[in-house]
Amino acid sequence: MKDSMKMLKGLLQKIIHTHEDELDCQQVYEVLDVYAEMSARGEDVSAALPMVKHHLEMCKDCEEEFEALMRVLEESHTP
């Protein structure tokens, strides 16, 4: 029961924070590599690609894809 309430609260928060002009997953996947590279360089991705950042905050699948890309980028820069 506690897990159901937690999940319901999470879904309600996502609905509340949904914008009228959201990006869908396909649109995010198209620029996710650029977003990850910018993030790895320390650039302000929040300012450069705010809609992508918002989508990643709302979409667990895309967030996981971003985290995987970041791990690859970090490993490729490790001597």
The reported pLDDT for the residue numbered 37 is: 94
Q: From the DSSP assignment, how many helices (H) and strands (E) are in the chain?
A: 5, 0
pTM: 0.71
Instruction: List the chain domain ranges.
Output: 21-76
Helix, strand, coil % in the chain, rounded to nearest 5: 75, 0, 25
pLDDT tens digits, one per residue of 45-65: 999 999 999 999 989 999 999
Residue 19 has pLDDT above 70, yes or no: no
Residue 33 has pLDDT above 70, yes or no: yes
Residue 11 has pLDDT above 70, yes or no: no
